[in-house]
Amino acid sequence: MITVAVEAAKQAGDLAYRYFKTQPKIKYKPDNSPVTRADIEAEKLIRKIITKKFPDHGIIGEELPPVNPAARFKWVIDPIDGTRDFVRGIPFWSTFLAILENDKPTVGIIYTPTINEMFVAQKGKGAYLNGKKTKVSKISDLKLACISHGAISVFRKKGKLKGLVKICDIVKHRRGFGSTGLNLLLKGQVDIFIEPGGGLHDFAAPSILVEEASGKFSDFSGKFSLTSGNGVATNGLLHNQVIRLLNQ
């Protein structure tokens, strides 16, 4: 399964990258988030590859209806995580793919074709970047940390903006890297990544990648969840401090 997953993510990401160079037309979903032909075609390609090899597996994607959602093995697809950046020609987007066994992540992949980075994790076997083991940072002092975070408007909507500001007032660096913030966390270049809004497709792959890279993933309450609508990923050493400040 992991071999198929890597190949599917690679093919879909490369397909999306070809569209990225030509700037496809944009449509908007009911929630006003953008979607392009690249999103749809990349997800269709992943589904085709999965179905050919594992016809009885479930598939849950961001853009198309679920297939066999009660299956033991489910593939979770975000063909372009960071479509807002994608449509502006900003290279901060990736293809996310995860495999769940009984609703728990066992494989996670983030492929970022714009910078040729392929992160792969399998439960209990570590996280790898382009075939080499990768780990989060060892920074334990929040004053020395670097944070990447999602949309300010969503923090405000969820009543967490004051908590975010408290964290940002303490840390050394504050940046908005979009989806690529996860890449930087997995390489130890960012220490905290907070996403105030998202679904299963946004968190399934990053959650296992972060934990296999010796970090920690949770929702805003500090519990491991892929369906809470928010996520916090850290190097683990800073996690409790971040959760406490976020919720003050």
pLDDT confidence of residue 209: 98
In this structure, the number of other CB atoms found within 10 A of the CB of residue 210 comes to: 29
Domains and CATH numbers, the chain: 2-133 (3.30.540.10), 142-246 (3.40.190.80)
The angle that helices 239-246 and 161-170 make with each other, rounded to 10 degrees, is 130
In this structure, the number of other CB atoms found within 10 A of the CB of residue 129 comes to: 18
Q: 224, 172 in Cβ contact below 8 A? A: no
pLDDT confidence of residue 213: 98
Buried b (16+ CB within 10 A) or exposed e, 131-157: eeebbbbebeebeebbbbbbeeebbee
Give the global pTM: 0.94
pLDDT confidence of residue 148: 97
**Residues of the chain below pLDDT 70:** none
Distance in angstroms (rounded) separating the CA atoms of residues 61 and 36:
15
pLDDT confidence of residue 106: 98
Segment 191-228, tens digit of pLDDT:
999 999 999 999 999 999 999 999 999 999 999 999 99
